[in-house]
């Protein structure tokens, strides 16, 4: 009867989902293996005792490329699984798309020039100075499009164009922003175009090879745009190039009160501001500790180490009692004996956020994690792998003025 049919259909859907899931796993594990094998193989080569310094440096540079590619891939997989579980929440805040585009231009111009390509950004004068939306996720859509365009364009150039529209492609009236990335790459055959934005479980092997991986980036663009209430699409002429676009509902926002246009600081400025400052780092992973300590010492900071929250609390009290208090504490969230949140709550009974700034270091990028960190009394929050310029800015902001 009808009941049986419904039951069968649900079962079929589950089987399909499982099969999609295993295709997904097969695709992604293949994807992860590539940079991982690169890292391991190059690492072995770099360990050889009898190679030149130049050769070693070359291996290390290639290892960095593999590591960055692996890191990006893992972020993508985490994002997609969060989206599928309905756990990805969007922020709504005033942001300047013009500023975001300027910083993207800086990042991608050098990459394009290195490949002998032109890179242009065209902005509609009617685009409002400030918009309401999620700057991080808007940037992610753009970056995914640009990374693809760079990968497949060997001559000519790439153009980003941004327009303000009063209705979208489907005729919905509102404040829309149309973002488009065009390239002069090889173009994409019509039968492959249909597959590109699909949940990439359905992409076939050849698409995978041709489009650098699992098409994860494009699936994420589509999911993010849809979460925002927007849409994505593409046009392509084989032999001439492709354009990928996103239309997002981003209403105009008033300029936030505190905003002064930022002067780009010369890199390397501000080291003297950190010189001689005392920092305690609480981290239970020896390699993470090694990297952090080396970086902080390069900036002239005095570094003390703790491997769990309990040790961190003892170190803070000991330093304060001999009149050499720490200027800042970098606190891993997950540690044995006592975690970062508990240690912070404990320390906040004795030291205010002004007296002892505490920055959370965490491997999880969920918004809820950030809220937990602030609830525990932390001043700020950095996700691993720690981004060096971001760490530097955070330290300058919290310590540089003291």
- What does the pLDDT average to over 325-332? 95
Instruction: Tell whether the model's pLDDT for residue 324 goes beyond 90.
Output: yes
How many other CB atoms sit within 10 Å of the CB of residue 171?
A: 6
Task: Give me 339's structure tokens.
Answer: 């975690």
The pLDDT score that the predictor gives to residue 349 is 94
For residues 132 and 381, what is the distance between their CA atoms, to the nearest angstrom? Answer: 23
Output the CA–CA distances (angstroms, integers) from residue 138 to 109, 131, 321, in the order listed. Answer: 19, 11, 48
In this prediction, residues 144-170 reach a mean pLDDT of 91
pLDDT of residue 268: 47
Mean pLDDT of 365-381: 82
- C-alpha–C-alpha distance, residues 64 and 294, integer Å: 17
Q: Can you tell me the mean pLDDT for 44-61?
A: 91
- The per-residue pLDDT for 9 is 63
Average pLDDT of the chain?
A: 84
| pLDDT grade for 322, boundaries at 50, 70 and 90 | very high
pLDDT-derived band of residue 16, with 50, 70 and 90 as boundaries? Answer: low
Q: Which residue has the higher pLDDT, 144 or 365?
A: 144
- Token digits of residue 114: 């290195």
The CATH number of 2-84, from 1.10.260.40, 3.40.50.300, 1.10.3080.10, 1.10.287.130, is: 1.10.287.130
Average pLDDT, stretch 298-308? 93
pLDDT the model gives residue 300: 92
pLDDT at position 233 is 92
The average pLDDT across 79-98 equals 85
The CA–CA distances, whole Å, from 59 to 108, 135, 294, 387 equal: 24, 35, 21, 22
pLDDT of residue 264: 43
pTM: 0.61
The tokens of 324 are what?
Answer: 């050499």
The pLDDT of 95-111, averaged and rounded, is 90
- Do residues 333 and 358 make contact, with C-beta atoms less than 8 angstroms apart? no
Residue 203's pLDDT band (boundaries 50, 70, 90)? very low
Q: Which residues contact 20 (CB under 8 A, 6 or more apart)?
A: 199, 201, 202
Domain 93-249: assigned CATH number: 3.30.565.10
pLDDT given at position 265: 45
Which of the pair, 180 or 389, is modelled with greater confidence?
A: 180
Higher pLDDT residue, 306 or 79?
Answer: 306
Q: What is the mean pLDDT of residues 197-222?
A: 61
> Is it the case that residue 100 has pLDDT exceeding 70?
yes
Query: Are the CB atoms for 226 and 247 separated by under 8 Å?
Result: no
What does the H/E/C string look like for the chain? CHHHHHHHHHHHHHHHHHHHHHHHHHHHHHHHHHHHHHHHHHHHHHHCCCCCHHHHHHHHHHHHHHHHHHHHHHHHHHHHHHHHCCCCCCCCEEECHHHHHHHHHHHHHHHHHHCCCEEEEEECCCCCCCEEECHHHHHHHHHHHHHHHHHHCCCCEEEEEEEEEEECCCCCEEEEEEEEEEECCCCCCHHHHHHHCCCHHHCCHHHHHHCCCCCHHHHHHHHHHHHCCCEEEEEEECCCEEEEEEEEECCECCCCCCCCCCCCCCEEEEHHHHCCCEEEEECCCHHHHHHHHHHHHHCCCEEEEECCHHHHHHHHHHHHHCCCCCCEEEEECCCCCCCHHHHHHHHHCCCCCCCCCEEEEECCCCHHHHHHHHHHCCCEEEECCCCHHHHHHHHHHHHHCC
Q: What is the pLDDT of residue 23?
A: 60
Tell me what pLDDT residue 201 has. 46
Please report the pLDDT score of residue 155 as a whole number: 93
Does the pLDDT value for residue 75 go beyond 90? no
pLDDT > 50? residue 266: no
Class of domain 271-400: alpha beta
Query: What's the pLDDT score for residue 227?
Result: 92
pLDDT on residue 79 = 82
- Which pLDDT belongs to residue 129? 93
- Give the per-residue pLDDT at 11: 59
Whole-number pLDDT of residue 74: 83
Q: How far is CA 74 from CA 70, 176, 285, 396, in A?
A: 6, 31, 20, 29
Highest mean pLDDT pick, 71-75, 171-175, 292-296: 292-296
pLDDT at 30 over 80: no
pLDDT at 208: 47
Residues 6 or more apart whose CB falls under 8 angstroms from that of 253 comprise 94, 95, 128, 130, 131, 132
How many CB atoms neighbour CB 253 within 10 A?
A: 17
- Spell out the domain ranges in the chain: 2-84, 93-249, 271-400
pLDDT at position 402 is 63
pLDDT for residue 165 is more than 80: yes
Please tell me the predicted confidence (pLDDT) of residue 94.
Answer: 92
- Minimum mean pLDDT among 14-18, 79-83, 317-321: which range? 14-18
Report how far residue 108's alpha carbon sits from residue 144's, in angstroms, rounded to the nearest whole number.
Answer: 12
Beta pairing, strands 278-282 & 328-332: parallel
Cα 382 from Cα 175, distance rounded (Å): 33
Residues for the chain: how many in total? 402
Range scoring the smallest mean pLDDT among 2-16, 67-81, 119-133: 2-16
Strands 380-383 and 358-362, sheet pairing? parallel
Q: What phi and psi values does residue 307 have, to the nearest 5 degrees?
A: -105, 5
Confidence check: pLDDT of 346 > 90:
yes
Q: Choose the weakest-confidence range: 25-39, 82-96, 239-253, 264-278.
A: 264-278
Residue 26: the pLDDT is 64
């Amino acid at each position: 009867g009808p009941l049986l049919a419904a039951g069968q259909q649900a079962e079929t859907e589950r089987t399909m989902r499982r099969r999609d899931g295993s295709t997904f796993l097969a695709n992604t594990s293949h994807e992860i293996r590539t940079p991982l094998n690169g890292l391991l193989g190059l690492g072995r080569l770099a360990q050889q005792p009898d190679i030149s310094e130049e050769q070693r440096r070359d291996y290390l540079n290639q290892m960095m490329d593999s590591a960055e590619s692996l890191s990006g891939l893992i972020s993508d997989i985490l994002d997609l699984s969060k989206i599928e579980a309905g756990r990805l929440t969007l922020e709504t805040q005033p942001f300047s798309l013009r500023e975001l585009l300027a910083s993207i231009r800086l990042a991608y111009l050098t990459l394009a020039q290195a490949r002998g390509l032109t890179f242009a950004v065209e902005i509609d004068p009617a685009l409002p100075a400030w918009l309401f939306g999620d700057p991080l996720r808007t940037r992610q859509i753009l970056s995914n499009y640009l990374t693809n365009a760079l990968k497949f364009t060997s001559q000519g150039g790439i153009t980003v164009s941004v327009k303000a529209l009063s209705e979208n492609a489907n005729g919905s009236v509102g404040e829309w922003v149309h973002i488009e990335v065009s390239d002069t790459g090889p173009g994409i055959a019509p039968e492959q175009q249909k597959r590109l934005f699909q949940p990439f479980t359905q992409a076939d092997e050849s698409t995978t090879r041709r489009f650098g991986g699992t098409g994860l980036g494009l699936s994420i663009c589509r999911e993010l745009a849809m979460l925002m209430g927007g849409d994505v699409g593409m046009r392509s002429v084989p032999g001439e190039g492709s354009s990928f676009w996103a239309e997002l509902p981003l209403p105009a926002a008033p300029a936030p009160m505190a905003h002064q246009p930022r002067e780009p600081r010369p890199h390397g400025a501000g080291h003297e501001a950190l010189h001689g400052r005392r920092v305690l780092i609480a981290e239970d992973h020896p390699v993470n500790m090694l990297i952090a300590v080396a970086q902080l010492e390069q900036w002239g900071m005095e570094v003390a180490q703790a491997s769990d929250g309990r040790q961190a609390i003892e170190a803070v009290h000991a330093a304060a009692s001999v009149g050499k208090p720490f200027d800042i504490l970098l606190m891993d969230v997950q540690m044995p004996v006592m975690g970062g949140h508990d240690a912070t709550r404990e320390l906040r009974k004795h030291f205010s956020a002004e007296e002892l700034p505490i920055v959370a270091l965490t491997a999880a990028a969920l918004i809820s994690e950030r809220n937990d960190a602030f609830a525990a009394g932390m001043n700020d929050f950095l996700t691993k792998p720690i981004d060096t310029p971001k760490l530097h800015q955070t330290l300058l902001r919290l310590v540089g003025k003291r």
